Amino acid sequence: MAAPDVTVFVCVSCRRRADNAAGFDEPGRVLAERLADRLADDAPGAAVVPVECLAVCNRPCTVALAGESKWTYLVGDLDNEAHLDDIAAAARAYAATDNGIVAWKERPLPFRKGVVARVPPLAFRPQTPAPALSGSDALTQD
């Protein structure tokens, strides 16, 4: 089976800042369910995968857009209701790229403002290689 064009990892353990009391809702779980329904209809090459933690606890809801041999985006400060269409649009735009890099002007506003990190694919090699650091050298470089 071929890899999906985009996998949207959704943090389901995020809590809203005001939801620290018992019985809080889990906005990530709601987002994962709604996003899976939305993308099933208009982006069959997309997969939505709930994950326990993306370690961006101070910026819920958080998602990661990933694809085979593509850059990965980690995006926070999303609202599971207000940004559902934006997240779906970003997933479709990401899926349409060869390398995962979505042009700035094509990114929905929450993705322009909420990017926490852009991580290179595992096979990434810079076109102009910088000297590689290893072992104790990596710890002592300024």
CATH classification at residue 64: 3.40.30.10
Percentage of residues in the chain having pLDDT higher than 90? 58
Each residue of 37-89: pLDDT tens digit?
999 988 778 999 999 999 998 888 899 999 999 999 999 999 988 999 999 99
Range of the domain at 63: 6-140
Q: Provide the number of structural domains found in the chain.
A: 1
119 domain-assigned: yes
Q: CA 73 to CA 118: how far, in whole Å?
A: 5
41 domain-assigned: yes
129 domain-assigned: yes
1 domain-assigned: no
Each residue of 82-129: pLDDT tens digit?
999 999 999 999 999 999 999 999 999 999 999 999 999 998 887 776
